[in-house]
Chain A
């Protein structure tokens, strides 16, 4: 009992069980997270204070402390920092600390506490204060902070999985991930091996392609933009393409047909530059089509064609439906042709065509490749 120098003497928040290094920070946390009025954002000092404020100023009754654990939501108890915590809860907390044994290292239990807080937050409670008043350090945030699906989107096109290493897949190659230098703490543990993949020696010249590799939008579409979980909704179209690209698909932003160009799709459209790369771009657009079809059938179908496509069919007056079979046909030859010349695509993290650097494929990974064929 009497020994005070135990680690458990760190101040902690009764409402969410989170520990702090300093009681001052704890009080700041409580004011920002638990004692802030959801209507006028005024920060009060205690639960009863908040309740009285809301009653008097906004004529609203508050029955729970915002962002608190379900069993700690009592607004009647006057708690300020570590003052006012019921003695039995202090004992209980201490017992958990010591009983938990090794888990008591500060960094470890903070996320756990936070996770609980978050799940409590997602519940039906009147939790309101979520916009980042107190940004938390990213390091220790557990995947639980993201209550949504962390896994790769199942709708991801097949060929993509073959062509490139997606971040989520990295753990499949333990050997490879070791070689990746990760100078910083991973932000998302699920991405841990993917944070920074900078082989600094790469010569840029090998990557330069003067003929402009227009990557068709969906070909490198990561997971589609999906909601992070129940109770939240990302205000963004489902496709993982920038808002500008989506807007640019609007028919009115298509290049105007030049008077000298006859209106046949065969002639070089004004927007796509040299005719030499025409065929290549054509192929890539076609590849994109298959991706779009496989990946996001519903969404992609309804949307007008992407920019690249517009350019290609610049002279076509009526928008061609995406399901049109013609552009899909050349897909297979394209990929069979392309893959051998871009072994770098399989490089963990890099996603850079490093063919010039490693003509024989990626060192350390050669036998992995067949798996992806």
Chain B
């Protein structure tokens, strides 16, 4: 209920040896709070040991990397503007090119359910890859729209594209699209994340707005969907509306964090329609968020993404690790 404004404190720290350009994605390891993968526009993918606050590994793509994900503790997948999907073995420090798209790879997700990697690209397709060898299992057209965001939980796989389209797939049966929807928000889709309980997904747009939607097409269930405004700042009579760039779910409580270009991170209880808390304002836009597997830590990537005219000097690209409390993340 109450809005807490938390000042910078011991519960939060900045990672060292950060990327030299904007951070596109941060991902915690599947079963530990210790490791964090970071992809960046400086063409690198880095693995951080968060507890020791050191960079453990780094490998490069030819061009900026837009997304990265873990398969397990020691394998990562990454893709970006060079249109190439790479697998990296963090133990052996070897990289394998799994294949490529005809456009930049925007999203990379690992589907544990079928032990496959999914990549979404600006070429308008999603591809599924064998997780171990360079073998593209299938190519799935997403209405010829550029893929902007993807999320997978269990078998539920939701793709958000340009033109405000949403495609709901079942990774166990990629033969056909389960649902084809249009975003309920008026503006460009920025991020989609599926609820850990798989009931629905949360969708954000560039116009400071977030929608909570349900996958069950039963009208009774559909009635529960709603949207709300957020990440807006009123300054001298003008309301500035910021893109909501990032969403991350707390896997235990089904609450979620949103990060916007306003530099704020909010935590919401989607089922009870409550904001649980707002952190202090970060130095620049929040470009990516990731809760650790148990929800005890939140990685917050701050990078300006040319939302407006470039600021001079460009704000630093930073990553904060914040240890969150139940008070901040648990429904009241």
Contacts and interface: CB of A to CB of B under 8 A. Distances in A.
Interface in B148-198: 148, 162-165, 174-182, 184-188, 190
Contact of A138 (B122, B226, B240, B305): B226
B102 A130 contact: no
A183 B219 contact: yes
Contacts of A235: 240-243, 261-262, 307-308
A131 B143 contact: no
Interface in B24-42: 24, 41
B141 A243 contact: no
Nearest to B309: A237
Size category of the A interface is 35 or more
Nearest to A188: B186
Contacts of B223: 139, 184-185
A198 B166 CA distance: 11
Contacts of B179: 196, 198, 200
Contact of A225 (B41, B188, B219, B261): B188
B187 A234 contact: yes
Q: Which of A133, A220, A241, A243 has the most CB of B within 10 A?
A: A243
A166 to B, nearest CB: 10
Interface string A178-200: 00000111011001001111111
Contacts of A204: 140-141, 174-177
A130 B229 contact: yes
Contact of A247 (B122, B187, B261, B305): B305
B143 A351 contact: yes
B229 A131 contact: yes
Interface stretch (B47-55, B62-70, B87-95, B322-330): B62-70
Contacts of B210: 132
B5 to A, nearest CB: 7
B232 A131 contact: yes
B111 to A, nearest CB: 17
A253 B64 contact: yes
Contact of A243 (B163, B241, B307): B307
A215 B103 CA distance: 9
Interface string A142-178: 0000100000000000000000000100000000000
Given A213-B144, A247-B22, A273-B100, A134 B273 contact: yes
A183 B222 contact: yes
A215 B144 contact: yes
A185 B185 CA distance: 13
B184 to A, nearest CB: 4
Contact of B180 (A133, A135, A196): A196
A120 interface: no
Nearest to B166: A196
A236 interface: yes
Interface string A114-146: 000000000010001011111111110000001
B104 interface: yes
A329 interface: no
Given A131-B229, A233-B241, A248-B81, A241 B186 contact: no
Contacts of A203: 176
B236 to A, nearest CB: 11
Given A138-B184, A247-B41, 9 more contacts: A132-B229, A139-B226, A187-B184, A200-B179, A204-B176, A211-B102, A222-B164, A235-B307, A255-B62
13 contacts: A132-B275, A139-B226, A167-B182, A187-B225, A197-B180, A215-B144, A215-B162, A220-B163, A235-B262, A240-B162, A244-B106, A248-B64, A272-B102
Interface of A: 40-43, 124, 128, 130-139, 146, 167, 183-185, 187-188, 191, 194-200, 202-205, 207-215, 217, 220, 222, 225, 228, 231-237, 240-248, 253, 255-256, 271-273, 277, 281, 307-308, 349-353
